[in-house]
Amino acid sequence: MAMSIIRKRLDEDYDALSLLDSLPSHDTFDWVPISSETRLAMKIGSVKGRDILALLVQLGDKPYEVRYWSLPHNRSATTGSHKVLSQDDVVRLSLYPPFKYNADISKSSKRKFSIIIKWYFMLKGLLHDGVGGDYNDYCKRFCDALRRIDAGRRIDDAEKNDPGDSIEGSQETPMTVDESSEPEDTRSPYKLRSGPHNEASNPLNSKADTTHPVQLVTPDDTPSTCDDDDETDYDKLCRYLDKHKLLYLLENIPKADGVQFVDQGFMPEAQPKKLFLGRHAKDDREIYAYMRPARGWHEINFWVEDPRRSLNITAMRSEDVAKQRILHPFNKTYPKDGPIDQGDRARLTLMVKFYFIAAGIARNFVLQETKAFPDRLRSALEYIAHRMGAAAAKPPVLEQTNTPARSASRRTDIDESHIQSSLALPRSPLQATTPAAARPTPVAARSTPVAAVTSPTTNTSTLPTHPSPRGTKRAAPTSTPTASNEDAHFASLAATLSQDQTLTKEINAVDHELEMKQMQKQIFMEKLERQKQVFEEKWNTEYDEIVTKRRGIEEQRGGVRKRFKRMSLKIAGGADEGVEDGE
């Protein structure tokens, strides 16, 4: 009765009956019997060797409620083998379609998630009491959930056919934990604009009929515009930086083999590896970055994981990631002190994407999805260099042209205004008749240093208006540095500056070595911890097998002893009968 009412209202009020009929059949899911009771649980997902189950429970006369368990593969749902999960935990796990499209921690999405599960229990014939509430509100939420499922399914289908294309008509898409937005200001390395994206910046929100991602920024020449099938995205990015004389910025960050990628099975739809970023500041849990497709492009999600507990996985926002103990260079993508804005979050996710590209995990689709990625990478690398300060690598071009530029600027610092003013004075007749050979060398023609030039504050009235009498010897000039001495002085300054830059580079290299050593230690400890975990799991499995074997032997021995006891009693009874007969 309840199903017919729901179908009728979805058809008449919302025209959504086709969406309801497009759901996967209830027979396509595994229904696990619960051994302690005569109930069935539906398998809605799996993670790390454990099944995620949904079941219905009723407390008194209240309507049925959905509960969630975690159960090892191929195990019966006994009280000792299952773990109870909250809905907040379940929606963050890897779920099967159509449940994953409504997996969100908001209150509204939680209700929609439960409605979909209850509908499957109705189809299975395990729920007969209706919805236990207002049908109008129920059908409205049910319709929203169905539309979300339809949008998510169409996005997944489109990504399988062409991951780079946007989806037309996607009015509503599944909620995600943390969307990897990109900085929009590509030219300023220090202050990236943190305003919200407009509608045109997201191809899914754009009303224009298009089959290609919208280009947020129009760079002058980016690698994504070049058609070269032999080049990877990483090669194109390096070529772009080299063209702009910025390839040295990559010296400020570790190479792809200097960061830690770990195999992951938590998100089957994501990239096969996750990137280790650091540890939680309070409980020392590990922080990983996942790269997964969503809404027509790939985004970055951050999760906090406890290697000792496989299901203790919590989502984390990018602004919260910045408050933890994060490794270089990710900890240089936001200000050391102060609030984290949208530009900082975008810079962090962009660098994570860059390492997925550099490691060869994200293969040749990021530049197709984000045309302005090279310009944004350039801005992010410049920001990291700014945060590193004196330890950052210096541009090689500036080191070569530094000395001539300073020497030229030093020579142009001489103020000749007073010389021009004195030359502009009217000449006396005696000056006009002076032979050219007897004239002194003009001041402007000399290579006179600053100390030998008359001060500009000298009053022009004190200057002589007629030359000295003939035959009078001019006073010998005081000893002043010549041009060669001045050049030697600037050469010495240039050598000192070059030495300072060399030492700064050496300090930068040593700091990088120290950081790499710390990272190597951390990677080794992580590897050791994982090996320890694998050993403990293997040991526990073997130990359980041995214990089970021992119990089987004990049962056999118990049967043998019982049989021996019965035989002994039988023999003893026969002996007693023989004694009585003899008497």
Range scoring the smallest mean pLDDT among 108-117, 428-437, 540-549: 428-437
Torsion angle of alpha carbons 270, 271, 274, 275, nearest 10°? -120
Q: In angstroms, rounded to a whole number, what is the distance separating the alpha carbons of residues 581 and 583?
A: 5
pLDDT tens track for 325-355: 999 999 999 998 878 888 899 999 999 999 9
Q: Give the pLDDT of residue 161.
A: 62
Across the chain, mean pLDDT equals 73
* b/e 82-103 (16+ beta carbons within 10 angstroms → b): beebebebbbbbbbbebbbbbb
Mean pLDDT of 356-377: 90
Instruction: Kindly report the pTM of this predicted structure.
Output: 0.39
Mean pLDDT of 437-450: 42
The amino acid present at 511, given as its one-letter code, is D
Q: In angstroms, rounded to a whole number, what is the distance separating the alpha carbons of residues 498 and 401?
A: 11
For residue 279, the cross-strand partners are 286, 325
In the predicted structure, residue 444 carries a pLDDT above the cut 70 = no
Do 393 and 338 form a contact (C-beta atoms < 8 A)?
Answer: no
Q: Give the pLDDT of residue 295.
A: 66
Range scoring the smallest mean pLDDT among 128-132, 267-271, 511-515: 128-132
The CA-CA-CA angle for residues 175, 181, 186, to 5°, reads: 165
The confidence band for 298, taking pLDDT boundaries of 50, 70 and 90, is confident
pLDDT tens track for 490-500: 888 888 888 88
In the predicted structure, residue 251 carries a pLDDT above the cut 50 = yes
Q: Give the pLDDT of residue 172.
A: 37
Backbone angles phi, psi at 66, to 5 degrees: -90, 130
Give the rounded percent of residues in the chain with a pLDDT score beyond 70. 67
Q: Which helix (H) or strand (E) holds 12?
A: helix 2-13
Q: Give the pLDDT of residue 373.
A: 93
Range scoring the smallest mean pLDDT among 216-220, 288-292, 299-303, 342-346: 216-220
The confidence band for 556, taking pLDDT boundaries of 50, 70 and 90, is very high
> Collapsing DSSP states into helix, strand and coil, what is residue 116?
helix
Mean pLDDT of 566-573: 85
In the predicted structure, residue 87 carries a pLDDT above the cut 80 = yes
Mean pLDDT of 14-20: 84
Range scoring the smallest mean pLDDT among 52-56, 122-126, 219-223, 335-339: 219-223
Q: Which of the 8 DSSP states describes residue 20?
A: H
The amino acid present at 61, given as its one-letter code, is D
Do 132 and 64 form a contact (C-beta atoms < 8 A)?
Answer: yes
Q: Give the pLDDT of residue 380.
A: 94
pLDDT tens track for 30-85: 888 876 556 788 999 988 888 899 988 887 778 888 999 888 877 666 556 678 88
Q: In angstroms, rounded to a whole number, what is the distance separating the alpha carbons of residues 500 and 239?
A: 30
Q: Give the pLDDT of residue 576.
A: 64
Mean pLDDT of 230-237: 87
Closest to 276 in 3D by CA, of 76, 526, 534: 526
Q: Give the pLDDT of residue 111.
A: 87
Q: Give the pLDDT of residue 560.
A: 93
In the predicted structure, residue 438 carries a pLDDT above the cut 60 = no
Mean pLDDT of 229-236: 82
H-state helical runs in 233-296: 233-243
| Beta pairing class for 309-316 and 325-326 | unpaired
275 burial class (0-12, 13-18, 19+ CB within 10 angstroms)?
Answer: buried
For residues 507 and 581, which has the higher predicted lDDT (pLDDT)? 507
The confidence band for 442, taking pLDDT boundaries of 50, 70 and 90, is very low
The amino acid present at 465, given as its one-letter code, is T
Q: Strands (DSSP E) along 146-259, which ranges?
A: none
The confidence band for 407, taking pLDDT boundaries of 50, 70 and 90, is very low
H-state helical runs in 359-448: 366-369, 373-388, 396-411, 417-423, 429-433
Q: Give the pLDDT of residue 35.
A: 61
Closest to 98 in 3D by CA, of 172, 9, 187, 174: 174
Q: Give the pLDDT of residue 437.
A: 41
The amino acid present at 159, given as its one-letter code, is E
Q: In angstroms, rounded to a whole number, what is the distance separating the alpha carbons of residues 166 and 173?
A: 12
Range scoring the smallest mean pLDDT among 171-175, 257-261, 269-273: 171-175
Greatest mean pLDDT among 220-229, 422-431, 509-518: 509-518
Quote the radius of gyration of the chain (alpha carbons, Å).
40
Q: Give the pLDDT of residue 248.
A: 92
Do 102 and 113 form a contact (C-beta atoms < 8 A)?
Answer: yes
Residues 6+ apart with CB under 8 A from 129: 2, 63, 64
Range scoring the smallest mean pLDDT among 183-192, 278-287, 336-345: 183-192
In the predicted structure, residue 164 carries a pLDDT above the cut 70 = no
Closest to 23 in 3D by CA, of 104, 137, 172, 142: 142
Backbone angles phi, psi at 292, to 5 degrees: -135, 150
Closest to 298 in 3D by CA, of 372, 216, 376, 365: 365
Do 370 and 380 form a contact (C-beta atoms < 8 A)?
Answer: no
Q: Give the pLDDT of residue 5.
A: 87
Do 85 and 311 form a contact (C-beta atoms < 8 A)?
Answer: yes
Do 188 and 116 form a contact (C-beta atoms < 8 A)?
Answer: no
Q: Give the pLDDT of residue 306.
A: 81
